């Protein structure tokens, strides 16, 4: 619900410089605020991605669900940016070109005291 460019600049200010070994910046987009159209949402997503990519000189990752990607995001986004799908299932995401797949938010990992997210990375 806030302007995409100001959100991107806030991200850049908060995160600061990236090291070579850091993941690329990630945009989490899973909901639409009341009154926001598909056109407005995609324009904002593109603005955020382009602003962050220009600053870091690294292509950001888009984190979203299968259904949100299919129902809301333009192919221009899914075809040009790595996609991290949140799909809590043992079946692979419907979107075939995913790079990351978060398949649970209830993983038991030694050393972490509570359930946590777990993802796989496609090479």
Q: What are phi and psi of 37, to 5 degrees?
A: -85, 165
Instruction: Give this prediction's pTM.
Output: 0.94
Average pLDDT, the chain: 96
List residues bridging with 20 in a β-sheet. none
Report pLDDT digits (tens) over 8-63: 999 999 999 999 999 999 999 999 999 899 999 999 999 999 999 999 999 999 99
Scanning 2-121, the segments in alpha helix (DSSP H) are: 4-15, 38-56, 66-72, 75-80
Per-residue pLDDT tens over the stretch 79-119: 999 999 999 988 999 999 999 999 999 999 999 999 999 99
What is the DSSP code (8-state) at residue 34?
T
Q: How confident is the model at residue 123 (pLDDT cuts 50, 70, 90)?
A: confident
pLDDT of residue 1: 76
Query: For residue 2, what pLDDT band results from cuts at 50, 70 and 90?
Result: confident
């Amino acid at each position: 619900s806030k302007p995409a460019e100001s959100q991107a600049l806030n991200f850049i200010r908060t995160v600061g410089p990236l090291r070579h070994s850091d993941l690329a910046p990630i945009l989490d987009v899973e909901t639409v605020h009341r009154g926001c159209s598909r056109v407005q949402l995609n324009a904002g997503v593109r603005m955020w991605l382009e602003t962050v990519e220009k600053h870091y000189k690294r292509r950001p990752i888009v984190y979203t669900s299968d259904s949100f990607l299919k129902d809301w995001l333009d192919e221009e986004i899914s075809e040009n940016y790595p996609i991290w799908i949140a799909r809590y299932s043992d079946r692979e995401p419907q979107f075939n070109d995913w790079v990351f797949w978060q398949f649970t938010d209830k993983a038991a990992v030694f050393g972490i005291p509570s359930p946590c997210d777990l993802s796989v990375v496609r090479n």
